[in-house]
Structure 1
Amino acid sequence: MRMKPSRNLLLGMCSMLALGFLYYSSGRISLRGWGHKSLYDKQGFLLKLDATLPLELMYKYGNISEGVCKPGFAAAKMTAIYPKFTKLAPMFLDPNYKRFSRIGDYLPPFGVKTQEKIIDILLSATNMYGLGEELDSKSCKTCIIVGNGGILANKSLGQKIDDFDVVVRLNEAPVKGFEKDVGSKTTIRITYPEGAIQKTERYEAESLFVLSAFKSLDFKWLRHMVFNQRLRSTDGFWKSVARHVPREPSDMRILNPYFIQEASFKLIGLPHNNGQMGRGNIPTLGTVAITMALHNCDEVAVAGFGYNMSTPHAPLHYYEKIRMSAIKESWTHNISKEKEFLMKLVKAGVIQDLTGGICGAGC
């Protein structure tokens, strides 16, 4: 007499078959995808990088004369080595900034969460959200980010820097007295309260003052600057801050924090830390500015970037005598991981490094 298989036995066999199928399928999927994945690193960048143009870009840019601005070039080259790149991200916050849900989900410095009310007040007061009519109307813009590195000294790059449509400077790096090496033109100066120029006479006659906010207090500070109010307390800042910015509200901007978020979590691959500012997950302002330029400029160059730790007696900055050896391991930045990212951009020809400090002999 034949026994009917029990219900439990049938269920057990079905479960085993299902698990076996899933295991087999996942193995096939991973094997099928392995070849594709191996082309890219864990951040999503092409592993094999060189400055040659892909065929489709060769047709687009190959016949453009030397020195003529190439429309969309930086974004096209970036997308070729990093397919996840999408260009849409304006330089500065405007009244429609809430459409960028990615910045609404994070507290400063990675977003605007809890700061919407004060940002709305600031944007209403400044009432200007672009580079200005002339630059905004340009069909092709060349941009250069001028870093503060000592490598700029005695290079006589001033005229070349001034030839760019948009010249971006960082924090309190001076221009006066250093024009031969760093140029005299400043389109925008990106900074935060502790990094801003404190002596009002050192400000350029014409430039946009752009806040990169790293904490909620930075927006309150900017409100004092925009409305020309006396700053009664500097509690909460890690060093002394500017107490007056000699700029009209219409010349002040707020940098889109999306660039800090993208540079940190996506491009460099710094710790997410639940979206909070923490150890080693804040990109330097220079890298944030480069990220901004990739989204908003057609061609991007840099100068004054790169620390060479093998030359401890070389000047750290072009405008002072502090030596390279003064650099200590930063709590907030990860200089080595950041350098890896910037080297990818230079090696692939996404950006041009006029002073050669990012790669040295390594590209």
Structure 2
Amino acid sequence: MLLRQLLPGRTRPATGQIKSCSQVKDWQMSPVACRCHLSSQEGKRVSRMLFRSRICKLFPVILVACGLLGFYQHLPKTDNLCKLSLVEQPAINKEECLKLKRVIDSANISQKLVSGQLIKNIRELQKCPWLENPQIHHQYRSELLQCCNVSGQMVMSQENTYLGQVITYEVERKHKVTVNEELLAMLPESSPFPSKPYGTCAVVGNGGILLDSCCGSEIDKADFVIRCNLAPLNYSKDVGLKTNLVTANPSIIIDRFNTLNKQRRPFAEMMKVYQKSLVLMPPFSYTMNTDASYKVFYALQDFNAWQRVIFFRPEYLLNLNTYWKKKGITAGRLSTGIMLVTAALELCDQVTLYGFWPFSTDLQGKPVHQHYYNNQQPGTIHAMPQEFFFYTKMHSQGVLRLQVGKCA
């Protein structure tokens, strides 16, 4: 066996002639074979030399490893990063808060909205303690129940839709569709929303103000979490992961997934992040929405997805548009954000908004992206500052809480 450890063609020295391993280095005898031919004392000496040689070679690696370990131990833990970055806003006294709230409550939407003044108002308002006002919230809920009724009328179901019914599109009013057996089978038997309100709800917008907000854990603690337009959740520290209801704008399906005409698996895989959520779509707002909405329904069904697709009733959206027009919003069409905020006012006892911010700078005047995941600008069909005016007003009144900036 020892002969195999010698290089081919070399002559193995006689056992008695070997006094040290250096004598056999030309034969490349292994340390084990060498020690077998040495006296026990010499073997120990050579073993120590080999051990020290290996330690010397490993010493730089050990130093680097120890240094990295020490550096890691001194790093703030991930759970503490948000706590370290939190800067508390100095509180203002009660009289100043009351004065500020009177100014905001008396403001009129018909006045010219100045973004700088809106930002100043909400910056000062964030320094005041938020006080819930169930009475005013109940007034909003009563108004919305009379005009819109989210529990019974927001979603198409087999209770509020019948075979042969003619549906007029919400925006393209010249176009109609007749309810057939295929469509009726796609609808839930009844409304997916309970008549009894949820406790706490988080409505998560997509504003760039959410980035580095550390609001994720707070959002996930809500009883019911509502999200807009399939926004990515790979910013969980800031936006959380929990989802109970998410809207899917058909334009996203058309642009990003080619209306699901070819590959559908990437879409089904992407949807897994939204867990067992309801996916709310408007198939009868524009004619181009219908095909995309149907294909989303069938794609998720074919891949046995956890999500369930539900459809907006166009009549509900028309009534909602009328409600906000009477209050002063003059946009061609309401944004998805205010549709969901309005629904939450009916569905929930306590509503908190995150990521609703229509401005290009934050509370400190620093530039902020339009969305927390990109800087794509919204269409001109919406009136975001007008909608934000009402969010600010409802926050001041104690109807909902508008979370802007870092979460505690």
| Shift of residue 270, structure 1, vs aligned partner | 8.8
Check conservation: 2:216, 2:238, Cα contact below 8 A: yes
Q: Which runs of 5+ in 2 are unaligned?
A: 1-105, 111-124, 258-265
Distance in 2 between residues matched to 1:128 and 1:98, nearest whole Å: 10
- 1:221 equivalent among 269, 276, 292: 292
Superposition map of 1:180-199 within 5 A? 180-196=237-253, 198=257, 199=266
| Shift of residue 41, structure 1, vs aligned partner | 6.8
1:298 aligns with 2:349: yes
| Shift of residue 152, structure 1, vs aligned partner | 0.7
* One-letter identity of the residue aligned with 1:145: V
Partner of 2:381: 332
Distance in 2 between residues matched to 1:209 and 1:219, nearest whole Å: 15
Structure 2 vs 1, CA of residues 259 and 291 (structure 1 numbering), >3 Å: closer, same or farther? farther
Distance in 1 between residues matched to 2:107 and 2:332, nearest whole Å: 22
Distance in 1 between residues matched to 2:294 and 2:270, nearest whole Å: 21
CA distances 1:304-352 after superposition (whole Å, capped 9, x unpaired): 00122355832221123x2xxx647x43112233233333322222111
1:125 aligns with 2:186: yes
Superposition map of 1:97-246 within 5 A? 97=160, 107-109=169-171, 114-117=176-179, 121-127=182-188, 129-131=190-192, 136=194, 140-175=198-233, 177-196=234-253, 198=257, 199-200=266-267, 201-203=269-271, 204=273, 205-213=275-283, 214-228=285-299
Partner of 1:92: 155
Partner of 2:371: 317
The 3-state SS of whatever aligns with 1:115 is strand
Distance in 1 between residues matched to 2:348 and 2:179, nearest whole Å: 30
Distance in 2 between residues matched to 1:285 and 1:245, nearest whole Å: 27
Distance in 2 between residues matched to 1:319 and 1:168, nearest whole Å: 18
Distance in 1 between residues matched to 2:158 and 2:327, nearest whole Å: 30
CA distances 1:152-210 after superposition (whole Å, capped 9, x unpaired): 111111111011111111113111x2111111111111122113474422212322111
Check conservation: 1:302, 1:352, Cα contact below 8 A: yes
TM-score by length of 1: 0.59
Structure 2 vs 1, CA of residues 84 and 244 (structure 1 numbering), >3 Å: closer, same or farther? closer
Check conservation: 1:226, 1:248, Cα contact below 8 A: no
Structure showing greater radius of gyration is 2
1:266 aligns with 2:266: no
Distance in 1 between residues matched to 2:225 and 2:389, nearest whole Å: 24
CA distances 1:66-104 after superposition (whole Å, capped 9, x unpaired): xxxxxxx84x05258x699657332422123259xxx98
Equivalent pairs counted in the alignment come to 262
Partner of 2:90: none
Distance in 1 between residues matched to 2:396 and 2:172, nearest whole Å: 28
Distance in 2 between residues matched to 1:253 and 1:183, nearest whole Å: 23
Distance in 1 between residues matched to 2:109 and 2:169, nearest whole Å: 26
CA distances 1:234-263 after superposition (whole Å, capped 9, x unpaired): xxxxxxxxx999565981101233553244
CA distances 1:25-76 after superposition (whole Å, capped 9, x unpaired): xxxxxxxxxxxxxx99799xxxxxx98777xx57xxxxxxxxxxxxxx84x0
Distance in 2 between residues matched to 1:221 and 1:280, nearest whole Å: 25
Runs of 4 or more above 6 Å deviation: 39-43, 50-54, 110-113
| Shift of residue 290, structure 1, vs aligned partner | 0.9
Identity, % of aligned pairs?
20
* One-letter identity of the residue aligned with 2:369: P
Structure 2 vs 1, CA of residues 114 and 295 (structure 1 numbering), >3 Å: closer, same or farther? farther
| Shift of residue 284, structure 1, vs aligned partner | 0.7
* One-letter identity of the residue aligned with 1:316: Q
* One-letter identity of the residue aligned with 1:319: Y
Distance in 2 between residues matched to 1:116 and 1:143, nearest whole Å: 35
Check conservation: 1:142, 1:299, Cα contact below 8 A: yes
Structure 2 vs 1, CA of residues 53 and 194 (structure 1 numbering), >3 Å: closer, same or farther? closer
* One-letter identity of the residue aligned with 1:267: W
Check conservation: 1:78, 1:85, Cα contact below 8 A: no
Structure 2 vs 1, CA of residues 124 and 248 (structure 1 numbering), >3 Å: closer, same or farther? farther
TM-score by length of 2: 0.53
The 3-state SS of whatever aligns with 1:141 is strand
Superposition map of 1:26-41 within 5 A? none
Distance in 2 between residues matched to 1:226 and 1:78, nearest whole Å: 33
* One-letter identity of the residue aligned with 1:215: Y
Which is helix-richer, 1 or 2?
Answer: 2
Structure 2 vs 1, CA of residues 79 and 89 (structure 1 numbering), >3 Å: closer, same or farther? closer
